[in-house]
Amino acid sequence: MRGAVLHAPGDIRVEDRPDPRIEKPSDAIIRLAATCVCGSDLWPYRGIEEVSGPAPMGHEYVGIVEEVGSDVRNVKPGQFVVGSFFASDNTCEICQAGYQSRCVHAELVGAIGTQAEYARIPLADGTLVATPELPSDDLVPSLLAASDVLGTGWFGAVAADVQPGKTVAVVGDGAVGLLGVLAAKQLGAERIVVFSRHESRQQLAREFGATDIVTTRGDEGVAEIKELTNGLGAHSVIEAVGTQEAMMQAIRATRPGGHVGYVGVSHDVSLPGDELFFSEVHLHGGPAPVRRFLPDLIQLICDRTIDPGRVFDLTLPLDQAAEGYRAMDERRAIKTLLTV
């Protein structure tokens, strides 16, 4: 099969990879309907995360089940399925509590690499959720978004305790931040403020439900949020970047008693204890347990209540994955969908 492989920073090649096979009775093999490039793929692409040898890339996926192992009961060949970037059994105590991304048997799908024609999905019964029927082609981008960026933005909003009638701020205008806006809107937030300096992203944020745009960041951005909230700060802040600056901006933009939901993959963030102590905010986040939300998100997409697939503003064939990475790296694209 064909698949994207990162050889060195900036060097993505689509090449022949071995066809995946059932390795354990709990595995399934899927034929990808579409795949995509994640903001987190840019960390190794930019050389910020080390790459040791050629690495298969991709952890977002939707597709048709081709084959299942002998223990798989919940999905069958021919079904259209959505899964998350952590395979999980969905039965252990941690999964049952809704934290499937930290399942005691969790396996990282990124190590398998789903920017490819086929993929082996471990723990298929716990990981994969089938759609009620085969979706029409125009729903595929939204279902693919549910696999990671929508589920992650949604968890950011839930972790930030977004409630009806409240004010939410979103730090980060990438796909996850924008879908955090969509999630906040669905969860009933009254005012949704997004930090963004990019015209096209501001426009999509507004279409997803943002009521205010703040173009400054850092302490200036915090001062603007305070101005919008009678000096108090937002009730809920979604942090969707993962840098020191973004995390501190999120904490400082939150009112005492408020909640920060942090879902940007943390890179060298360290929090000052004294400031944290006196901020009196709740902090919750981490790798999103997307599996917790998948059944509801699939329903909202199939009912056409939400259209998260709009974050894909570039579509290319898998063979042009290298250009898909470049476009995101240069911020010419919010998110690249790869057709298979």
Answer yes or no: are the C-beta atoms of 240 and 177 closer than 8 Å: yes
Q: Which of 41, 60, 89, 239 binds Zn ion (CB under 5 A)?
A: 89
Rank residues 95 and 194 by Cβ distance to Zn ion and give the closer one: 95
State yes or no: residue 55 binds Zn ion (CB under 5 A): no
| Least distance from Zn ion to the Cβ atom of residue 25, Å | 17
State yes or no: residue 102 binds Zn ion (CB under 5 A): no
Stretch that binds Zn ion, among 66-74, 96-104, 262-270, 316-324 (CB under 5 A): 96-104
Going by C-alpha positions, the residue among 118, 130, 86, 129 that lies closest to residue 104 is: 86
For residue 143, the tally of other CB atoms under 10 A from its CB is 26
| Least distance from Zn ion to the Cβ atom of residue 59, Å | 18
State yes or no: residue 125 binds Zn ion (CB under 5 A): no
Rank residues 35 and 127 by Cβ distance to Zn ion and give the closer one: 127
State yes or no: residue 178 binds Zn ion (CB under 5 A): no
State yes or no: residue 103 binds Zn ion (CB under 5 A): yes
For residue 181, the tally of other CB atoms under 10 A from its CB is 29
Rank residues 45 and 86 by Cβ distance to Zn ion and give the closer one: 86
CA distance 9 to 91: 38
Q: Which of 64, 92, 213, 232 binds Zn ion (CB under 5 A)?
A: 92
Stretch that binds Zn ion, among 1-9, 86-94, 201-209, 330-338 (CB under 5 A): 86-94
For residue 285, give both structure tokens.
Answer: 């986040």
Angle between helix 199-208 and 175-186 (nearest 10): 20
Going by C-alpha positions, the residue among 12, 14, 5, 18 that lies closest to residue 119 is: 18
78 φ, ψ (degrees, to nearest 5): 100, -20
Rank residues 103 and 184 by Cβ distance to Zn ion and give the closer one: 103
114-134: b (≥16 Cβ within 10 Å) or e:
bbbbbbbbbbbbbbbbbbeee
| Least distance from Zn ion to the Cβ atom of residue 230, Å | 44
State yes or no: residue 144 binds Zn ion (CB under 5 A): no
Rank residues 86 and 312 by Cβ distance to Zn ion and give the closer one: 86
Stretch that binds Zn ion, among 84-92, 109-117, 176-184, 241-249 (CB under 5 A): 84-92
State yes or no: residue 87 binds Zn ion (CB under 5 A): no
Angle at 227 (CA atoms; ends 175, 211), nearest 5 degrees: 40
**How many residues of this chain interact with Zn ion, rule: CB under 5 A?**
5
Angle at 327 (CA atoms; ends 139, 10), nearest 5 degrees: 120
Q: Which of 5, 95, 176, 241 binds Zn ion (CB under 5 A)?
A: 95
For residue 167, give both structure tokens.
Answer: 């004010």
Rank residues 2 and 102 by Cβ distance to Zn ion and give the closer one: 102
Answer yes or no: are the C-beta atoms of 74 and 128 closer than 8 Å: yes
Q: Which residues bind Zn ion (CB under 5 A)?
A: 88-89, 92, 95, 103
